[in-house]
A and B are shown apart, each in its own frame.
Chain A
Amino acid sequence: MRDHSTALAHQFDDIGQQHESASLGMWIFLATEVMFFGGMFLGYSVYRGWYTAAYGEASRHLDIVLGAINTGVLLCSSLTMALAVHAAQLGGRRVVTLFLIATIVLGSVFLGIKGFEYYHKYEEHLIPGPDFRFEGPNAGHAQIFFSFYFVMTGMHALHMIVGIGIMLVMIRLTRRGRFSPEYYFPVEMTGLYWHFVDIVWVFLFPLLYLVDRS
């Protein structure tokens, strides 16, 4: 039996196959993202093995409270995202919009706190470059830690900004009535992307803020 809904693209047998294709395609993209962030995690850990003491000193300059609050904020945003997808599966247009807005607000709070942390690092002269100031013999190696800190959290923040942009598009499409309980895949794929970005932070937070604390 062929599905005659307007959502079904003509190259697919049925909507289930279309959904499977969307998921597989998204996961191929996420695999490339795993490799992209994986390279940075590898670099971080190799230098950590070599300059363990400097990493410890540098890591203690990060604000653990702000880091923990931000992790909580991001996990909340993952919940609201999951609930947005849930609502999309049931076809509740208003609820989808509200949960997507909640996710955007939480994502923006995260970016705001991150920006505040960056500004604080700027004031402390901890941004790698000619203005970098660090007490003690490990200054050069500490600069490597902060290079990884800024590149990794910066790339993560960039992904969040992109995610917020995609969610704004999803809100627009939802309000125009493009989705139904049968066809909500773009909202779900946006969710996959957002949850992936959350997972990256789940690893960044302990590695950058926590492991050298005690």
Chain B
Amino acid sequence: MSEHIVAKKIYYTVFGSLMALLGATVAIAYIHLGKLNVIAALTIAVIKAVLIILYFMHVRYSSRLLWIFVGAGFFWLGILFALSYSDFFTRGWLSLPTGWE
């Protein structure tokens, strides 16, 4: 047997944490925090995603090679967002010379 079998207890613990985080994210949504609302919601979403990836998807118990494959997908997603944002949200920073509008 090459595969690590995750104890059921771990699945239940992760599931409990996910449900608790769901409750937290809904509760925080009703508190007015301005821009922090988005940051809090996304932080909780990332924690939930990481829990699912590490435990439900067994990545924590997988080889380093698999970690690279998993990381590559999200790294490329990071490139997509970083380069696109650097365009869309900096357009107002410089005024274009006349004739370029």
A195 and B11 in contact, given A24-B69, A64-B26, A86-B5 (Cβ under 8 angstroms)? no
Contact residues of B: prevailing secondary structure = helix
The reply to whether B73 and A34 contact each other, CB–CB distance below 8 Å, is yes
Any B CB within 8 A of the CB of A1: no
Q: A34-B77, A79-B15, A86-B6 are in contact. List 8 more A-B contacts (CB 8 A).
A: A20-B63, A28-B69, A42-B81, A42-B84, A82-B55, A191-B56, A207-B42, A210-B37
Of the residues A20, A38, A182, contact of B77 by C-beta under 8 Å: A38
Any B CB within 8 A of the CB of A78: yes
The reply to whether B30 and A39 contact each other, CB–CB distance below 8 Å, is no
Of the residues B12, B26, B73, contact of A30 by C-beta under 8 Å: B73
A residues near B (Cβ < 8 Å) are 14-16, 19-20, 23-24, 27-28, 30-31, 34-35, 38-39, 42, 45-46, 49, 64, 68, 71-72, 75-76, 78-79, 81-83, 86, 89-90, 181-182, 188, 191-192, 195-196, 198-199, 202-203, 205-207, 209-214
The reply to whether B1 and A182 contact each other, CB–CB distance below 8 Å, is yes
The reply to whether B73 and A214 contact each other, CB–CB distance below 8 Å, is no
Query: Could you list some 16 contacts between A and B, CB below 8 A?
Result: A24-B66, A24-B69, A27-B69, A42-B80, A46-B88, A68-B22, A75-B15, A78-B56, A90-B5, A192-B57, A203-B49, A205-B45, A206-B29, A206-B44, A210-B37, A214-B37
